[in-house]
Amino acid sequence: EYINNVSAPVLCLDGYDNLVLLLTPSSHRPIRIDIMQFSLDDDIIIDFRRDRSGHLHAATTKVYEFMQLADSIKTRYSSLRHSRIPLMLLANQNSVDAKEVLAALSIGAHVAIAGNQPSSGTLLKCLKHYRPHFVCLDTGTAEQLIRERVLPMLHNPNTPSYMISSIARRNLLKQARKRMMFALGGCILMVSVTGGRFSPDIETFLQRIDFPYQII
């Protein structure tokens, strides 16, 4: 009630506990908001959060800030071929940045959501099916995917390490990167990971094969 009184929202998402209800509302049609009707200093997003005392605080995003975010996301996709639609995969609901999602949608990118806490098998199927360019997930989900689904495809336990020359080892790392990128859809430009750093062995492996990831 307080939020409705102070901000007059166009749409409130708190009433939806099911994605199907949100995508196919029966009470109203989707609303198109023309950002050009606003001035650059107008507030376009108001994000209400409760502090530890339970009081609501509003974090506002102005039009020019949203447009800057959309431009930065557009720059990420600038190297893509025009034959494919830009696509972002949100592999865990906890790693979702709502403003990034809205900004990505505003430039015509598609957003796929793998679920709240998807299993490594489900996540791998989503990656192969949607072939996303950017992936957002948490550290635990990423490590589970790498340990359970990726590493078993890359390592041959029957080959002793001392029998592999330095040249062969470099070639193996190149092949490991190629096979890992293929297993994750083959189109990934960057994987953004939230929730802390990787375990030392996983971090070392990703750095050795020069895998494109960042901790945010």
Residue 1 corresponds to which amino acid?
Answer: E
Question: Is pLDDT above 80 for 31?
Answer: no
Mean pLDDT of 207-214: 89
Q: Cα–Cα distance between 117 and 98 in angstroms, integer?
A: 17
129 or 54, greater pLDDT: 129
Question: Is pLDDT above 50 for 55?
Answer: yes
pLDDT tens digits for range 95-143: 677 788 888 888 888 888 887 778 888 888 888 898 998 888 888 888 8
* pLDDT value of position 161: 54
pLDDT tens digits for range 165-190: 566 667 777 888 888 888 888 888 88
The mean pLDDT value of the chain amounts to: 79
Dihedral angle sign, alpha carbons of residues 163, 152, 86, 75: negative
Q: Which helix (H) or strand (E) holds 2?
A: helix 2-7
Nearest to 128 by CA among 192, 183, 80: 183
Question: Is pLDDT above 90 for 195?
Answer: no
Between CA 21 and CA 40, with CA 57 as vertex, the angle to 5 degrees is: 80
* DSSP assigned state of 184: T
Question: pLDDT-derived band of residue 71, with 50, 70 and 90 as boundaries?
Answer: very high
The residue assigned the tokens 């635990």 is 140
Between CA 214 and CA 129, with CA 147 as vertex, the angle to 5 degrees is: 70
pLDDT tens digits for range 140-166: 888 888 888 877 766 654 555 544 556
* pLDDT value of position 163: 45
Instruction: Express as a percent the part of the chain with pLDDT over 90.
Output: 8
* pLDDT value of position 137: 86
The residue assigned the tokens 């023309």 is 34
* pLDDT value of position 32: 67
Mean pLDDT of 68-80: 86
Nearest to 116 by CA among 143, 91, 97, 139: 91
